[in-house]
Structures are given as C-alpha cells and as structure tokens.
Amino acid sequence: MSVTTVPIQPIKKGSLAKLWIALTVVLLAAAALAYAGTQSAVETGASNEQFLAMNGGKDGVITTESGLQYKVIKPGEGKSPTVTDTALVKYEGTLRDGTVFDANEQTPMPVGGVVPGFSEALQLMQKGGEYRIWIPSELAYGEASPGPELPANSLLIFDVSLLDFISAEQMQQLQQQMQQQGAPGPGGPAGPPPGQ
C-alpha cells in the first residue's frame, strides 16, 4: 500500500437516487420556463389569427361561429339581454400586450349600439355574469382606428361584468321620467361605451 493513495469513500445509500431526483426537477423547471417563454412569444408576437388559434385551445375558452372567443369567469342567472336592450356593465378593455385602452365601473350601453363582438358577447351573458372576451378585429373596428389608443386591426380583450339590463320599453319610460324631472338621461354625462 502506498502512502499517497487516498481511499474513495463509498456513496451513501440513497444519495444517487437523490441526485437523479434533483436533476429531474431541474429539467422539468427548465422545460416549464421554455414553455412559458414560447407561450408569451405566441401571445405577443404572433398574428391575431395565430393568437386566437392558440387561445381557442385553452381550457374553458369557447369560440363562436363568428370567431368571438369567451370564457365564463362567473356564470350569471336568468335571461340574457337582446339586441334592443340596454345593459349596465362594468368592463376593462386591453390590447394583447396588456395595455388598458378603456375601463368603466358602471355604464349603460345599448346592446345593439356597440361593436359586433361586444354585442354578441353581451347577448350570451346573464345578469351577474362575468366573462373574459376576445374580439377579433373584424368584429371590432377592423382597419379603422377609433383613436390613438387603438391601432388598426387590433384584437380586443375585455373583462366584462353584466350588472343588469332593461328592455327598450323600460329605457324609454326611464328617459321620459328623467326628462319630466329635468335630469339628463342614462348615459348622458358619461363617456361613450365601446364602439361608439
């Protein structure tokens, strides 16, 4: 036996298994980060069509015949508004990059007087419901740009809560009552709803 020889210590029982488990965890974490990075690239860098194709495959997202996509966050109860009704809604509108372009805590809007995708979504909801909707540009403003905050061909994303709605007849009665009392009608001093 030589004086310079260093004996190799035996590996403790279970250490090799722990090493493989740690390596597996690191590889899974790396794969998850790569997947998240790819998803982010698709969401921000892809065309609207590619984004909607990817988004339509997510859990709970429903795509209508027109191309509107929605996800029920909280179901409502009762009937849905019709195109002639006036809805009282809370909403926040964003672009794909997360830029908020419009928001309102409580505003009345004619269901048939907003962009087609927003109108379609309102007619799917019930009172008390909360939806996230993705409106393709052709169901929103298309090539037109209503203002600097919304570029042409923008895909619009809304978080919408349907607080209440009333029929056209009820709205007309309310307007007559307010005119008799000298008050401005519903929606008078507030800003215009989406699509106006």
Sole residue written with tokens 């809304």: 158
Cα(70)–Cα(35) distance, integer angstroms: 24
pLDDT averaged over the chain? 85
- Residue 141 pLDDT more than 70? yes
Q: What tens digit of pLDDT does each residue of 145-156 get?
A: 888 889 999 999
Q: What are 3-47's pLDDT values in tens digits? A: 666 666 666 666 667 767 777 777 777 666 765 554 554 455 799
Judge contact between 119 and 85, C-beta under 8 A: no
pLDDT value at position 187? 53
pLDDT band, residue 93 (cuts 50/70/90): very high
Which stretches of the chain are DSSP H helices? 15-45, 48-56, 116-124, 168-181
Assess whether pLDDT exceeds 70 at residue 129: yes
Domains in the chain, CATH or no CATH each: 60-181 (3.10.50.40)
DSSP 113: G
| pLDDT on residue 42 | 47
pTM score above 0.85: no
At 18, is the secondary structure helix, strand, or coil? helix
Torsion of CA 190, 188, 111, 194, to 10 degrees: -30
What are the φ/ψ torsions at residue 16 (nearest 5 degrees)? -65, -40
Contact 93, 86 (CB under 8 A): no
For 54-69, b/e burial (b = at least 16 CB within 10 A) is ebeeeeebebeeebbb
4 exposure class (CB count in 10 Å sphere: 0-12, 13-18, 19+): exposed
- Predicted confidence (pLDDT) per residue in 36-90, tens digit: 554 554 455 799 999 999 999 999 999 999 999 999 999 999 999 999 999 999 9
Inform me whether the pLDDT recorded for 2 exceeds 90: no
pLDDT exceeds cutoff 90 at 161: yes
